[in-house]
Structure 1
Amino acid sequence: MTATETDRAGALHADAVRALGDWRPAEPEQEQLRLAYLRHLAEQPDGLYRSCLPAHVTASAAVVDPAAGRVLLTLHPKVGRWLQMGGHCEPGDRDLASAALREATEESGIPDLVLLARDGAPVPVKLDRHQVRCTGKDRPENTHLDVQYIALAPPGAQALISEESLDLRWFDYDRLPELTDQSVRDLVARARELTG
């Protein structure tokens, strides 16, 4: 890693600690996850990158069009389920929010997304810890410590499928596809609640 990359990694790590340290979820299970994520980051200076095993922090966003009451989901090629946009942090990401926004923009093809903010700053809305095989199908599972945001799409936004998806579709909040898990359903419910 170059000195610049090391500085960026340190800044991203510091931001993740700040973002999670400042966020106060109402639900006890979310608070337990928040504390577990902070312990992970305290123990792992590289805890935001795919190379950190067996667990690393990821960032994602539910892309919503509140005016139309819909959410954009991607049919993930490895998981075979409809998910929110998201993925691994990269060395160029300045903070967790920008990692989530980058992933949402890349995977949705929508250029003018804006993360839901409080007091002028994007804030996480939910955490989700899940097992995946992001290092390859023949490799052991590892754990994603996902920090989830809400990305607001402009009214009538048109999505453009990327090579990272088998399919990309808008779904009414009340008509999510069968191939979604409870975590996605909870995130969409939270998005609906917060965006009215």
Structure 2
Amino acid sequence: MSLHDDAVLVLKAYEDQGELRQSYLDHLSVHPDGMWKACTAGHVTASALVIDPERGRALLTLHRKLRMWLQMGGHCEPGDVSLAAAALREATEESGIAGLTLLPGGPVRLDRHAIPAPCHCHFDVQYAALAAPGAAHAISDESLDVRWFGYDEVAEVADMSVVRLLTAARARL
């Protein structure tokens, strides 16, 4: 199965955010290359919010280019066999934490957001990844910093898309 096919199946099974979910499916039906960064009409990305439920905290990255505190995530790569695998790969690479596991049940949220030219938008499929208590993190080349924030601190440093993702992830725990 191709990554494109996996994305369509994942999105069809996702039961929330109906209108937004349909816009993702419509985009993929018109753009067979809609999984890849080269698709300038927009492309699907995969991300994961790393959480440590036992300590009530989320790991955020200070994105090097955007200079914003965000969840881990990014572009799909040819070696990714699924959206979930892409999200887990991104979370592992950007957090430096080995042994992350995705929260069961598929994506937690969808978030479509504009990005600078030449592309128009990211169709982000957002997961949550569980870290073991005491997991050691590292700063990747894509980050200026990586830091744990208590659940109640996230709204002070991150935008509402991250806050909504954290809220959805916590509801799934």
Question: Fold match, TM over 0.5?
Answer: yes
The yes-or-no answer on 1:131 pairing with 2:141 is no
On the 8 A contact 1:65/1:154 being kept in 2, the answer is: yes
The yes-or-no answer on 1:59 pairing with 2:46 is yes
Matching residue of 1:96: 83
Structure 2: stretches of 5+ with no match in the other structure: none
Equivalent of 1:174, from 149, 152, 160? 152
Q: What count of residue pairs does the alignment treat as equivalent?
A: 173
Name the SS for the 1:175 alignment partner: helix
Equivalent of 1:144, from 115, 122, 125? 122
Name the SS for the 2:58 alignment partner: strand
List, as ranges, runs of 4+ consecutive aligned residues in structure 1 with deviation greater than 3 Å. Answer: none
Q: Alignment RMSD, CA only?
A: 1.2
The yes-or-no answer on 1:87 pairing with 2:74 is yes
TM-score scaled to structure 1, two decimals? 0.85
The yes-or-no answer on 1:193 pairing with 2:166 is no
| Alpha-carbon distance, 1:103 to partner | 0.2
Matching residue of 2:141: 163
The yes-or-no answer on 1:69 pairing with 2:52 is no
On the 8 A contact 2:40/2:119 being kept in 1, the answer is: no
* Partner amino acid, structure 2, of 1:194: R
TM-score scaled to structure 2, two decimals? 0.96
**What is the identity percentage for the equivalent residue pairs of Structure 1 and Structure 2?**
57
On the 8 A contact 1:82/1:177 being kept in 2, the answer is: no
Tell me the distance in 1 between the aligned counterparts of 2:155 and 2:109. 21
Tell me the distance in 1 between the aligned counterparts of 2:108 and 2:69. 19
* Partner amino acid, structure 2, of 1:84: Q
On the 8 A contact 2:40/2:118 being kept in 1, the answer is: no
Structure 1: stretches of 5+ with no match in the other structure: 1-9, 134-138
Q: Return the index of the structure with the highest Cα Rg.
A: 1
Tell me the distance in 1 between the aligned counterparts of 2:157 and 2:73. 17
Matching residue of 1:15: 6
On the 8 A contact 1:55/1:143 being kept in 2, the answer is: yes
| Alpha-carbon distance, 1:106 to partner | 0.1
